Amino acid sequence: MSSSTSDDIQTTLQQAIQSARYNEAVILSLSDHDHTTREIVVVPALDREHGGIVWRDASSESTSDDDNNNHDDSSPHGNDTWPQDDVGILRHLRTKLWAIPMLNDHVRNDMYHRTVRDACRIVVKRRMRDNDDDGVIRILDIGSGTGLLAMMAANHCRDAIMRVQSFYPDRTMRVQVTSCEMASAMARLARMTMEENEHLIRSNSERSGSSIIDGVDCGIVVVECHSTDDDFFIQDGRFENNLEIESNNTTALDQEEQRLMKQQQQQAKQPKKADICTSELLDSGLLGEGVLPSLRDAWERHLKPNALMLPRSARVVAVLVEGCPMNEKQPVRDMDKVRNNRLNRATSLFGPDLDSFQSASGGVWLATTAQYENPTIDKSDGVLLGVQCVPHDNLDQSATSDSGGSGITIPMHADALLDDNYRDGGFTASLADPFQEYDGYSFVSDNAPEDRNTESKSDASNENVSPSRSGRGIRPLTDPLIVLDFDFASGLSAFPPAHGRSVSTTFIPNVSGIIDGVLFWWELDLGDAPSDTYSTQPLGYFEREKLDSSSLSCTSRDFQWQDHWQQGLFLFGDSDRSRMISKGQPVHVVASHDNTSISFVVSDDDQTIASRPTTRRKMNDGSDKDSQSLTRSRINQHISPSRALQLNNDRRTAVLRDAILFALSTKGTNAPLLDLSDMSLCAMIAAVAGGATCVTSLESTMATLAATISQIGNSLPKAGATFQVIQALSENVTNEYISGGPAEIVVAEPYYQVLEGWHIQEALNYFYLVRSFKSRKLISQTAISIPSCAYVMACVVEFQDFSNAYGKVGDDVERVAGFGHKVVNYYGDRYHTYDLSLPLWQYRWKRLSKPLCMARFVYEGDTLAINDDRWVSTEFERVGSADAVVFWVDYLCRSAGGTHVHAPTNDRFNIISTSSSCHRQIVRKLYPPIVLTDADLGSRSSKFLCRSKFDCSDLGKIDDHCFSFKIVTCDNKVDD
């Protein structure tokens, strides 16, 4: 490998790592001089010595969880067919969480199976009848996945040929399926799956040959590329190994044979056109996976004019919604108060709300502009952190408020916000015990929260979409209407232009209210029958019999809960948010899209006929591109919806503020303070609310943003004080970097952008950072830490939706739509060996056991310690199926009026718990699930036991923890 190539690889690797997050893998395919290809898989791991993230070669070390699995010999995990793990496949499936749930979506599988069969029969009948070409039925499959659609197409075409072969005795048909897959790991998995099904179809690699099955020449090749690549074409040569002419054999052929052979070679290399195209390039927002550019390119270059396309068409269905109040006792908002109380259960996902955070933090203005720098801008305007959306790059920048807009689209299970009865039937959503006690820390009654899962009674007015509530989070204001439609099957002329289009729809509100956003989902037509329509409609949104069949086409299908496609909640930016609408008065909404996203804006246009609420008016079709302006959704590059929930949680911010103020009152405002979290929030609270004069913040990824917020938004440092934000690897920090010398106060939320949503890793990373800094005397041995310690908590839950979606794919013999998927289960059915990060407030589950304290991380004192590696147990309190273990972290923050008291010192502590809805939780599947009965609840011997390991050498260099579980019931004992 040349040095220039090495430099290119290094640059590519660095770019990929900069945008990657924890639990993601960066995979690079490298070609050596001899044209062999090798793959490098690097994954993030915690640096135990210094803190922070290091990237390690995953192929050099097996993870401890996989090494310690108790695989069931009856499962594919015990199968010796694949003795060598493919690390790239393992990491790909671990990162792409949609893969296994999609294969477990039986409704989706059945629809594709049926409609692919129908398409194959149509094409075979047509080709046999016309008898006008080369006798090859070609199929293009875009996005191989596990190869399921490609195998369906090959098998159904073969069967269709066999059905009509006797009517056309002089006609011979071959089947060639070209399947494109851009992810190298997934391409390898598809080839393995096809090898597993070689008795049906034969496929292995780019040079795989065809095989005669039931008298029909049938073959599949998986091409590792994107179908839109300039050098990709459908070519017969991929299926014809016998066309290769070996140089030492050419003399044995006469000139005519050589000429014919070369002619066949040339013909095999010529681009061909496909009769059928299958794909499933869809995400929760419909367009994010590139379905439009991929299928547009297919019609341009790869398909016959009369080709059949699956899917055939799609529609976007939308409803205007209002966010419900944070506190269920609060009345529905009115326009006079809405500007002063912008946060509700919907808008808390967007932000942060500047006024709310300023009040809770003690004065920090969480913005990149000065608070009153521009008097024409609402001081709460979210544009100050880059939340605003901009017109499309290629469009006229002089967009008006009618044609331009702002907002974000959040994929989510909307039933959690829509359905009052979402968790009926025994479901509970409280993870934490409101009166939880810890070793040496006792609960006290004064200032006690009624429900610590929502973290405080005083937080009730500002708790975001709490999983413990039973009420709704958003209120529909209108009936659902179709706002966009897409025709994939009618050729290139039916496609919208690449730069998109805008369509206006008139909604008639059923109730008066304030528009906060648009809830939307999509319907996908795979065939012509009503039963061939797939919908991502929320399960409990409305009663099925009340659907207006004139507006919506999907009216009678049986629904199945699934986790790979959700709904989209588009929240308006400040220009469109908080518009009052009245019952019966038309509201004009413009839905816009480009190649990858959909957005909405409320229009002031009143030309749409009010008496026809389903009337849609095409604003433009892109023909006048220079005058067109589209709204588009752009996720805030700094603040994700999960992070917005944290920043909009006043209780969480207030606990940090009180703890920082208490530390400053103990150590003095001149004490050196060190912030070891990204975004420097605690440092800014200390300087602004507490008057700290010697503040240093170490940033891993967000130094520019933190510096801008502190300097411009909050005018730091104040006169006579120092406030500095530094970006450096922790091992390179010396005393000269820390203002005032060794820190006497060390603070953290903890929050680290690369670890967002992985709270065990965040707590552990803070431990490593503090330990490293103390060992180098950068933090005083008597320093106060905020938080003082962290407890890793756990409980057993019944979680059947999760268990079904993330369980073994296929039927009892591991077949999906008739095709074996044992190899997929071998690599994919491992959710009992590693963690998932999920926002549990969006799911239905039931806590079965009391919470238990698994481990404690101590951040203060001469010797930092992790108390772990011991069996701890808890009792069961409900019957049900023990499907999973849920983990969260409780941080104890020293404060004057805390809810817990430490007996030896009489210090008081407040709790920040990641069990609340403003955080994600960690989920580990139990394998196999255990059914708990009434007898188990009455038996003292029935219990859940857990042991954890952190910071030990036998974990290897990649894993940062290891869990072991035992469930003891009346009649058995199961180790997981």
856-888 confidence digits (pLDDT tens): 999 999 888 898 889 999 999 999 999 999 999
Q: CA 912 from chain center: how many Å?
A: 24
Q: pLDDT tens digits for 189-199?
A: 999 999 999 88
pLDDT mean across residues, the chain:
82
Amino acid at 352: P
pLDDT for res 250: 47
- In angstroms, the CA 85 to CA 87 distance is 6
Q: What is the dihedral of CA 531, 534, 540, 541, to 10 degrees?
A: -110
DSSP β-ladder status, 174-180 and 136-142: parallel
Dihedral sign from CA coordinates of 14, 16, 19, 20: negative
pTM for the predicted model, two decimal places: 0.88
pLDDT for res 28: 77
- In angstroms, the CA 601 to CA 505 distance is 11
Amino acid at 674: L
pLDDT for res 430: 80
Instruction: Please report which confidence band the pLDDT of residue 392 belongs to, taking 50, 70 and 90 as the band edges.
Output: very low
Classified as helix, coil or strand, 564 is coil
| Residue carrying structure tokens 């952008």 | 753
What would the mean pLDDT of 171-182 be, rounded to a whole number? 93
Tell me the CB-side half-sphere exposure of residue 911, using CA atoms within 13 A. 34
* φ and ψ at residue 99, rounded to 5 degrees: -65, -55
Q: CA 141 from chain center: how many Å?
A: 25
Q: pLDDT tens digits for 498-534?
A: 999 999 999 999 999 999 999 999 999 999 998 999 9
Q: Which helix (H) or strand (E) holds 873?
A: strand 872-874
Separation in Å, CA 278 to CA 157, 298, 776? 13, 11, 60
Nearest Cα neighbor of 92 from 37, 46, 29, 150 is 29
- In angstroms, the CA 534 to CA 554 distance is 8
Tell me the CB-side half-sphere exposure of residue 258, using CA atoms within 13 A. 10
Dihedral sign from CA coordinates of 528, 532, 533, 539: positive
Which of 193-207, 439-453, 815-829: highest mean pLDDT? 815-829
**Tokens read off for 146:** 């596990």
Helix, strand, coil distribution of the chain in percent, nearest 5: 30, 25, 45
Q: CA 423 from chain center: how many Å?
A: 23
Residue 643 or 37, more confident: 643
Residues facing residue 950 across a β-bridge: 961
What would the mean pLDDT of 637-666 be, rounded to a whole number? 93
Separation in Å, CA 751 to CA 18, 161, 643, 761, 914? 17, 60, 9, 10, 12
**Tokens read off for 347:** 């808008």
Indicate the DSSP class of residue 876: B
Classified as helix, coil or strand, 786 is strand
Q: Are 489 and 279 in contact (CB under 8 A)?
A: no
Q: Are 947 and 871 in contact (CB under 8 A)?
A: yes
- In angstroms, the CA 423 to CA 415 distance is 10
pLDDT for res 1: 38
Residue 929 has pLDDT above 70, yes or no: yes
Residues facing residue 963 across a β-bridge: 948
Q: Are 469 and 328 in contact (CB under 8 A)?
A: yes
pLDDT for res 520: 97
Cα–Cα–Cα angle for 917, 519, 457, rounded to 5 degrees: 25
- In angstroms, the CA 855 to CA 890 distance is 11
Q: pLDDT tens digits for 277-319?
A: 999 999 999 999 999 999 999 999 999 999 999 999 999 999 9
- In angstroms, the CA 384 to CA 382 distance is 5
- In angstroms, the CA 488 to CA 311 distance is 7
